[in-house]
Structure formats: C-alpha cells, structure tokens
Amino acid sequence: MERTEPYATPEDFKRRISHVGRGADVDLGSHGSANILCGERIMLSYVDMPANSYADPHRHKDIEQITILLKGDAEFVVEGKRFAVKEGDVLIFAPDEEHGAYMGPNGARVLDVFTPPREDLREKMQ
C-alpha cells in the first residue's frame, strides 16, 4: 500500500510522541519513585518500588486505577484482603476502593493507569 501522508515535523513529533522513562520523575517516599506521563484525562505512572517496601493502604476518590505488575512480585491488600501477584498480573481498583501493597524481596516495577489523572501527582510533576 502506498503511503501518501507527509512525515511529521520534528515539532509535531515532540508534541505527540513520548517515551517510557522520559516523563516527569516523582518521589513517592518510602515506596519508591515514579516516572509519569500525563494526558488530559489519563495518567501513566511507571513505579519502581524497593525490595521489602510497603505502600500504605489508601483510596483515590473518584479515580479508577489499573495496576500491571511488570517486574517482581508483591502482595496487594485490597479492602483488607491480601492477593499474591506476580509479573503480568493486572489489578483493577474502583474509585474509592482501599488498596496498598507489600513488595517482595526483589522489589517491583508496576505500571499504574489512572483516570482521571491524580491531581496530587500532577502537582508533583511540576
């Protein structure tokens, strides 16, 4: 198939294309750091959590979250119940659903997807 569209200019490319690891770095305190890419209505957060760290139970009012365990292993606590998860497992948290996590001995890397974006993280990006 013949391609007839012109190539994007370098300026177009810069406005449209991002790359994993080139988002905003955000310190998450005791449970690691995140590299965040954000649109108007969705946020991606690549989170690296140290070995044996702990993410306190918390809720996100009016925000839906999907977490994909990319590397490592962890025990997520959802509404007071523990779930042992491994690479490739996906968790979906409804708005205002309590969740936290215990990281395994090798730590973990997760991709968190938030919609709408978390304002607290958006503020830390600046």
Cβ neighbours of residue 113 under 8 Å, at least 6 residues apart?
A: 42, 43, 44, 45, 65, 66, 67, 68
pLDDT class of 15 with cuts at 50, 70, 90: confident
Burial (Cβ within 10 Å: 0-12, 13-18, ≥19) of residue 45: buried
Domains identified in the chain and CATH numbers: 23-124 (2.60.120.10)
pLDDT class of 19 with cuts at 50, 70, 90: confident
Q: What is the pLDDT of residues 24-81, one digit of tens each?
A: 899 998 889 999 999 999 999 999 999 999 999 999 999 999 999 999 999 999 999 9
